[in-house]
Structure 1
Amino acid sequence: MATLNGAIRSYGAAVRRMEREQQRNARESAKRFKEQQKLEEIENAQQAVSDWENYVDTIQSLHKNCTEQIDWKQIENTKKPIEPLLDSKNEAIAKSKLDNFKPSILDKIFGSTQKKITRLNGLLEQAKIKDQKTYDVNYKEYLDELNNWKELQEINTGIKNNETDFYKKALQYFNPFSDIGELGTQISFSFEQNHIDIDLHVNSLDVIPDYELKQTSTGKLSKKNMPKSRFNELYQDHICSASMRIAREVFAYIPIDYARINAVAKIINTKTGHLEEQPILSVIFPPETIDNLNLETIDPSDSMQNFVHNMNFSKTKGFSVVEKAELER
C-alpha cells in the first residue's frame, strides 16, 4: 500500500509539473506572439512612412529625370541600311547531298535508288523554301530599318532648316509623352521657328496626399491631416517640377532657343464663378539656363526665379490665374 501511495503521489507531482510547464510554455508563447506582432506592426508602420515619403518626394522631383539627349549629328552620319542578299546555304547543302549521292549495292538490289533520289529532291525543295523564308524575314527587317532611316534623315534635315513641321514630327516619332500620367493629363503643342509653346493640363489637387504619416517614438503609425499651407506648397512644387520636366524632354529632341510651358488647371473664374481651364503658371525655359542648375538640389518653386515666368501663388489660397509669360522685345 505504501508503495502504491508513493506511486500515486509521484504521479500527481509529475502531472502538476507538466501542468506548470504547459502553463509556462503557454505564457512564453503568448509573450513571443505579442512581441512578434509588435515587431510586425513597427515594420509595417516604417514601410508605410517610407512609401509616403517616397511618393511625396517623387511628385516634386519629376524634373530630375529626363530622356538622354538625341545626337542628331550621329543620326545624320548613320549609314543607309544594306539590302540583304538571298543566302542559299541550305539549298547548297541539300544540292551537294543530291549531286554526291551514289546508290549502294543494296539500293540496286532492292530498287530503292529512285526512292532515295526523290527524297533528296524533296529535301532540296524544302531547303530552297527555308532559304527564301529566311530572306523574306531579313528583307522585311531591312525595309523597316530603311523606312526608319529615311524618316530620321528627313526629320534631321527639317530640324537643321528650322522647319516647324519637323519639330512636330520629331516628337511624334520618339513620342516622349506617350505616358504623361505623372506629369499631367494632357499636352498640346504650338511650334514656332525657334521655340515651342506647350499647354500642360496638370494633375488635379488629388495628386497631393492630404495627410502626413510619421512614426512615433514607440514605433506606431501616426496619421494626421496635412496643414493647408504644406499641401499647397507641395502642389506648387509638383506643378513647377512637371513643367520643367516637359521642357527638358523637348530639349532632348529638338535644338530650339526656348520652350514656353503653360501649366493649365481647372480653376474658378472669379468673373463667372465657373470652373474653367486657365493658366496657373507660365514659364519660358531656355535650355542653357536649365543646364546651369543643380537639378538634384533645387527647390522647384524657387527655381522659377531663374526664368521669365508668371505665377501667382499663396500658401493659404494656392494658385491663381495668370497671363502667359512673354519675352521682352
Structure 2
Amino acid sequence: MAAASRAAARDAERREKAARKERLLAESAAAVEDWQRHIDGLVSVHATLSKGLDWRRIGAEPQPDAPEKTAVHEEKAKLRLANFRPSLFDFLGGGTSARRAKMEAAVAAGASLDLREFQQRQSDYTAAMCEWDDDTGLARRLLRGEAAAIREVIAEMQALSENDLIGEEIGFSIGESFVHAQPKVHSDEIVPRFRRTQSAGGKVKETPLPVGQLNSLYQDYVASVALKTGGELLQLLPLDEVYVTCFSNLLDLTTGHKGWSPILSVHFTRSGFELLNLAAIDPSDALRNFRHSMNFSKQKGFSKVEPIEVV
C-alpha cells in the first residue's frame, strides 16, 4: 500500500509538471502572438477602408412619391353590407337589424382605419422627403465643391475619429474642392523597443530591437496612417485628390523642446489610389505612387519637412 501510494504521488507530480509546462507554453505563445498582433496592427492601419459613397447617384435620386388617400377597408365593409342577405341564423343571433347595424358600424370603422393609415403614410412621406432633401442637397453641394458641405461630411466620419491608432487628433484645412488633413500621429514610442520570441523550452524571450528596424517600423506606421486618412477621404468625398500631412512630436534641436512638426506630406490622387492592393502593399514603398515629402533615415528616423502646398 505504501509503494502504491508513492507511485500515485509520483504520477500526480508528473501530471502537474506536464500541466505547468503546457500552461507555460500556451502563455508564452499568447505573449508572442500579442506582440506580433501589435506590430501587424501598426503597419496595416490602412488595410481596411469605409465603403465608398456614390454622391452622383445620391444627387440624382428621384423624389419620393406622395401618398394617395384610399378607402380599402371602407370599401370592403360596404361590399359586405351590400351583399348582406338575411338568413335564419341572423334571426337566431339577435335579428336582422342587429346584424345590419354591426355591418354599418364596420363601414364607419373601416373609414376610420383608412384615415389613420393615410395619416401614417403622410407622416412617413414627410420624413422621407426631409431625408431626400437633405441627402440630395448635400450631394449636389459636394459635387459643386462647397467647403461647408465637405466639412459636414468630415464631421460625420467615424472611421478616423474612432481609430485609436490614427493618433491624438486630426485637423483639417478645407476649401472649395480641396481637403488637407493633418493627423497628429503617435510618437515612435508606439513601436515596442524589443522583439519577442519563444525559446525552444517554451519561455518568452525579449531582445532589444535594433534602431534601424525600430525606425523602419515607425516609418511604416506613419505611412499607413497617411494612407488610411487619404483613403477614407477619397472614399467618402467626391474629390479626385486630397492632401495629408502627418505631424509628430519631435525634439527641436535648436530649442531643446519637443513640438509638433510635419514629418510626412502626401498628395493623394484617386487614380493612383485605386491601383493599390491595400492588403499587400508595404506602406512606405506605396508612397512612391504619389507626390510626397519625407526626410527619413533608418539611423536617425524622421526629420521635419515642409508640407506640400495645395494647388
Give the alignment partner of residue 306 of structure 1, picking from 280, 289, 300.
289
Give the alignment partner of residue 29 of structure 1, picking from 3, 9, 12.
12
| CA displacement at 1:207 relative to structure 2 | 2.3
Does residue 199 (structure 1) correspond to residue 188 (structure 2)? The answer is no
User: What is the CA–CA distance in structure 2 between the aligned matches of 1:44 and 1:129, rounded to whole Å?
Assistant: 69
CA contact (8 A) 1:279 1:324 kept: yes
Structure 1 residue runs without a partner (length 5+): 1-15, 97-123
User: What is the CA–CA distance in structure 1 between the aligned matches of 2:5 and 2:111, rounded to whole Å?
Assistant: 82
Does residue 247 (structure 1) correspond to residue 252 (structure 2)? The answer is no
Q: Deviations over 1:24-78 (max 9, x none)?
A: 1111111011112211211121122112212211111111110121112331343
CA contact (8 A) 1:200 1:262 kept: yes
CA contact (8 A) 2:60 2:136 kept: no
Q: Deviations over 1:123-177 (max 9, x none)?
A: x999999999887776665544432221111121112223232222233355543
Deviates more, 1:69-78 or 1:58-67: 69-78
Does residue 287 (structure 1) correspond to residue 258 (structure 2)? The answer is no
Change (3 A) 1:261 1:30: same
* Structure 2 counterparts to residues 43-54 of structure 1, below 5 A: 43-54=26-37
User: What is the CA–CA distance in structure 1 between the aligned matches of 2:189 and 2:174, rounded to whole Å?
Assistant: 31
CA contact (8 A) 1:259 1:286 kept: yes
Structure with more contact order per residue of length (Cα contacts < 8 Å, sep ≥ 6): 2
Aligned to 2:307: 324
The aligned amino acid for 1:185 is: E
Identity of aligned residues (%): 27
State the secondary structure of the residue aligned to 1:64.
coil
* Structure 2 counterparts to residues 1-329 of structure 1, below 5 A: 16=1, 19-82=2-65, 142-173=125-156, 175-326=158-309
CA contact (8 A) 1:194 1:257 kept: no
User: What is the CA–CA distance in structure 1 between the aligned matches of 2:62 and 2:206, rounded to whole Å?
Assistant: 60
User: What is the CA–CA distance in structure 1 between the aligned matches of 2:255 and 2:207, rounded to whole Å?
Assistant: 36
Q: Deviations over 1:94-145 (max 9, x none)?
A: 999xxxxxxxxxxxxxxxxxxxxxxxxxxx9999999998877766655444
The aligned amino acid for 2:31 is: A
Aligned to 1:115: none
User: What is the CA–CA distance in structure 1 between the aligned matches of 2:7 and 2:112, rounded to whole Å?
Assistant: 81
| CA displacement at 1:264 relative to structure 2 | 1.1
The aligned amino acid for 1:297 is: A
CA contact (8 A) 2:56 2:143 kept: no
Change (3 A) 1:289 1:142: same
CA contact (8 A) 2:55 2:143 kept: no
Change (3 A) 1:83 1:208: farther
The aligned amino acid for 1:147 is: C
The aligned amino acid for 1:298 is: I
Structure 2 residue runs without a partner (length 5+): 80-106
Change (3 A) 1:172 1:26: same
Report the count of equivalent residues.
Answer: 311
User: What is the CA–CA distance in structure 1 between the aligned matches of 2:186 and 2:120, rounded to whole Å?
Assistant: 45
RMSD: 3.7
Aligned to 2:92: none
User: What is the CA–CA distance in structure 2 between the aligned matches of 1:174 and 1:146, rounded to whole Å?
Assistant: 24
TM-score, normalised via structure 1 length? 0.76
